[in-house]
Amino acid sequence: MASPRTQQPRSPSIRDVARVAGVSHQTVSRVLNNSDAIRAETKDRVLAAMEQLQYRPNRAARALVTSRTHTIGVLTAQRSHYGPAATMQAIEDAAVTRGYSVTTANIAAATDEAVRDGLGHLLDQDVEGIIVIAPQQRVFDLIEELGMRTPYVALRTSGGDERSTLFIDQMEGARLATAHLLDLGHEYVRHIAGPQDWIEAEARMQGFLREMSDRDMPVVPPILGDWTADFGYHAGRELLRYRDCTAIFCSNDAMALGVMHAARSYGLDVPGDLSVVGYDDIPEAKHLWPPLTTVAVDFPELGRRCVELLLPSEGHTLRPVDLVPQLVVRGSTGAPRRR
């Protein structure tokens, strides 16, 4: 009878390290890859566990990690909204033409943990650069705190000098929308803003308030919405119950659609009794009835510029230039009826 084969002791694995350190194996991988998205105390626990187990990473695997991947990462939130979705599609198309693939990390909330996990997911794949499309200022603040060494491009909503930042002048877009209504003769204009913690919503609301203030027009505090048509409908019902405004500027087209529905539910005519302006110029805006006056942002161009800034062509460096939204006047706005 053959003697039993002598069992060789098993070398510790990355999962053994994770178990001893009390973290996930993905976190151990991020420590091995010198990820910026790991807290110092977590890194210390992982290193201590490696020392305890005498763990040695596979050099061949590490060599693969350090090779060029021709991959860029995108850290994004709320991809279901039109702006981020259109920008993301343009990023993917532009990257493919440059011979790059795109991997994404979606963060459900702008918590420190979610942002670190999202960045860690991208850095684990050795992306050569990262594009950040996020609605909350905290995301950008945390990235700066981490001192990330991987090149990245961020989207912001106001101008500046940062070389790695593209700007959309959302405030100017809101001023254009508000000025259009005031130029038509509306004296009582209300604003339905987006969520309070969204950078875009804040910039658009400030644009509305500044234009009204600069023209010495009466201002009622904006209503904070959630970007949905349902919210626009219910907010519109409340605003129109007392008929104390003749125009409503909404921070996005979906809420504007809801407002137009609310107007019709009261038997009001758009734009005869109420003028409505949206923001974003979604593809459906021109097909509403009446077609929606809105502020257009060239999201595809924004996506293309993100890739060009992150991966400049040989011998050519792109200088970040503000993208200024454009007002698109359609049938949902007109002069107010005199009472």
User: Which DSSP string corresponds to 223-238?
Assistant: EE--S-HHHHHHHHHH
Residue whose entry in the numeric block shows the structure tokens 């060029």: 68
Residue whose entry in the numeric block shows the structure tokens 């006056």: 293
Q: β-pairing, 165-167 with 294-296?
A: unpaired
3-state per-residue secondary structure call for 57-106: CCHHHHHHHHCCCCEEEEEECCCCCHHHHHHHHHHHHHHHHCCCEEEEEE
Question: In this predicted structure, what is the pLDDT of residue 209?
Answer: 98
The Cα 332–Cα 311 span in angstroms is 41
The Cα 328–Cα 278 span in angstroms is 10
Question: In this predicted structure, what is the pLDDT of residue 234?
Answer: 98
Q: Residue 120: which H helix or E strand, with range?
A: helix 112-124
Q: Greater confidence, 278 or 15?
A: 278
What is the rounded average pLDDT of the residues 251-272? 97
Q: Which two tokens mark 272?
A: 């005869």
What is the rounded average pLDDT of the residues 256-279? 97
Structure confidence by residue, pLDDT tens digits, 186-223 = 999 999 999 988 889 999 999 999 999 999 999 999 99
One-letter amino acid identity for 165?
T
Which residues are 102's β-sheet partners?
Answer: 72
pLDDT band per the 50, 70, 90 thresholds, residue 92? very high
The backbone torsions φ and ψ at residue 277, rounded to the nearest 5 degrees and listed phi first, read -125, 140
pTM: 0.77
pLDDT band per the 50, 70, 90 thresholds, residue 2? very low
Cis peptide before 84 (omega within 30 of 0): no
Q: β-pairing, 326-328 with 294-296?
A: antiparallel
pLDDT band per the 50, 70, 90 thresholds, residue 4? very low
Q: Select, from the ranges 25-29, 40-44, 293-297, 300-304, the one with the highest average predicted confidence (pLDDT).
A: 293-297
User: Percent of the chain scored above 70 by pLDDT?
Assistant: 86
Q: Which two tokens mark 208?
A: 């509305």
What is the rounded average pLDDT of the residues 258-285? 97
Structure confidence by residue, pLDDT tens digits, 290-302 = 999 999 999 999 8
pLDDT band per the 50, 70, 90 thresholds, residue 269? very high
Average pLDDT, the chain: 85
In the DSSP assignment, the letter for residue 24 is: -
What is the rounded average pLDDT of the residues 283-287? 96
What is the rounded average pLDDT of the residues 133-142? 80
Asked if pLDDT for residue 151 goes beyond 50, the answer is yes
One-letter amino acid identity for 266?
Y
Maximum Cα–Cα distance across the chain: 107
In the DSSP assignment, the letter for residue 286 is: G
Q: How many CA atoms lie within 13 A of 62 on its CB side?
A: 11
The Cα 302–Cα 300 span in angstroms is 5
